[in-house]
């Protein structure tokens, strides 16, 4: 099947010369030189990098760097898009197990509209996914998520195969993308003519429920929001990514009015870092600028989106999300260097909420001195 992307041979080539590759760390810098659409970002930045994960050595190195980035930024629980290659997902789980992070991830599946090396078949995806579930789901702090990349690259049968995995393995999660931009929504409608809307492609396949987290949802219909609330599906709001790719303004007020759970995400590839401080303050900026009138947020709202709301979306609210009695000790200790911006700001904070606002506005991963997961010190 022909790819939607104009240079599939280059995009899929893991052996491309170094000067033709753009690792994820360079994505935002490249975007500063050229205004990228989502499709251009996929072709130029994301897909070439993902093709390299077929190499185990590279997958090991990237897993180490990625998980180090999460923990160093103070993230102790994460929903992670894995890889199109089962070997790379296995490697990611192995490194996460060693570090002890609370991670939910899975094999990313597509059977159309991507470079050939990133595509799979229904039978292959079922076998590889089940093997990963059997090996990793529920082991320590790890859980599995059925992960169709998005409905544009996954046909009805492949999505339905994911739904079968959910029925066969109670307790596993589901994640994918939803309503990121208008062109994507129109293209999904062509690929799935029997679906009422983008969300319905997942609903028909049996992928929608209270263990489902869908990234972005910048342009939802009222019907989609009502159905998400009815099924308990959550939205992961990724504000720096939405800004970098000009996807649009996230309708936070509409989600809340509809009763949809919203948590904060980084979308590391198209965003510009791991830090929830940065995502929180960008979410604030975007709501301030929302052309339809955004939701005014305080620093306490940002803290909730980055902690307790994420725990609820991940079905971990009984274990983590706050520091109340009886929960696991997942925590970060913020201790900025003397006379650096955050240190100066905290020294002049008027009260606790003002101090929290300054942490979001000025904080960086370097201001996080220690990180604990389940009482174990993982960054010092």
Question: Helix 86-99 and helix 122-136: axis angle, to 10°?
Answer: 10
pLDDT for 35 = 52
CB pairs under 8 A, 24+ apart, for 125-132?
A: 125/158, 125/161, 125/162, 126/161, 126/164, 126/165, 128/86, 129/86, 129/162, 129/165, 130/165, 130/168, 130/169, 131/86, 132/86, 132/89, 132/90, 132/93, 132/106, 132/107
CA distances (Å), 350 to each of 48, 339, 347, 367, in order?
48, 18, 9, 20
At 263-286, the pLDDT tens digits run 999 998 788 889 999 999 999 999
At 131-158, the pLDDT tens digits run 999 999 999 999 999 999 999 999 999 9
Backbone angles phi, psi at 184, to 5 degrees: -60, -45
The DSSP bridge pattern shows strands 212-216 and 173-178 to be parallel
The per-residue pLDDT string of the chain (380 residues; one tens digit each, 9 = 90 and over) reads 333 332 222 223 333 333 333 333 333 343 444 456 888 888 888 899 899 999 999 999 999 999 999 999 999 999 999 999 999 999 999 999 999 999 999 999 999 999 999 999 999 999 999 999 999 999 999 999 999 999 999 999 999 999 999 999 999 999 999 999 999 999 999 999 999 999 999 999 999 999 999 999 999 999 999 999 999 999 999 999 999 999 999 999 999 999 999 999 999 878 888 999 999 999 999 999 999 999 999 999 999 999 999 999 999 999 999 999 999 999 999 999 999 999 999 999 999 999 999 999 999 999 999 999 999 999 99
Backbone angles phi, psi at 341, to 5 degrees: -50, -45
Q: CA 99 to CA 72: how far, in whole Å?
A: 12
């Amino acid at each position: 099947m022909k790819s939607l992307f104009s240079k599939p041979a280059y995009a899929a080539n893991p052996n491309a010369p170094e000067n033709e590759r753009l690792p994820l760390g360079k994505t935002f810098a490249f975007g500063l030189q050229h205004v990228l659409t989502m499709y251009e970002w996929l072709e130029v930045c994301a897909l070439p990098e993902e093709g390299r994960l077929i190499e185990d050595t590279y997958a090991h190195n990237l897993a180490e760097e990625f998980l180090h980035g999460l923990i160093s930024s103070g993230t102790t629980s994460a929903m992670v898009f894995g890889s199109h290659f089962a070997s790379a997902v296995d490697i990611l789980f192995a490194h996460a197990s060693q570090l002890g992070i609370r991670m939910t991830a899975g094999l990313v599946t597509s059977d159309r509209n991507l470079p050939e090396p990133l595509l799979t078949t229904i039978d292959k995806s079922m076998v590889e996914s089940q093997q990963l579930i059997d090996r990793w789901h529920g082991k320590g702090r790890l859980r599995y998520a059925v992960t169709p990349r998005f409905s544009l690259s996954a046909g009805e049968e492949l999505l339905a195969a994911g739904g079968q995995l959910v029925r066969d393995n109670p307790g596993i999660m589901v994640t994918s993308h939803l309503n990121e931009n208008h062109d994507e929504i129109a293209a999904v409608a062509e690929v799935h003519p029997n679906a009422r809307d983008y969300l319905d492609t997942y609903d028909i396949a049996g992928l929608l429920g209270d263990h489902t987290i869908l990234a972005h949802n910048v342009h939802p219909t009222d019907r989609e929001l009502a159905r998400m609330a009815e099924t308990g599906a959550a939205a992961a709001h990724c504000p720096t990514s939405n800004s970098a790719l000009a996807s649009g303004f996230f309708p936070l007020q509409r989600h809340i009015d509809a009763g949809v759970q919203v948590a904060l995400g980084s979308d590391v590839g198209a965003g510009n870092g791991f830090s929830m401080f940065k995502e929180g303050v960008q979410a604030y900026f975007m709501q301030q600028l929302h052309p339809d009138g955004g939701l005014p947020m305080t620093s306490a709202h940002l803290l909730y989106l980055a902690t307790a709301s994420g725990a609820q979306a991940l079905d971990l609210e009984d274990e983590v999300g706050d520091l109340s009695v009886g929960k696991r000790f997942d925590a970060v200790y913020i201790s900025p260097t003397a006379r650096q911006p955050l240190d100066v700001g905290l020294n002049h904070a008027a009260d606790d909420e003002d101090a929290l606002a300054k942490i979001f506005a000025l904080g960086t991963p370097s201001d996080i001195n220690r990180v604990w997961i389940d009482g174990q010190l993982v960054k010092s």
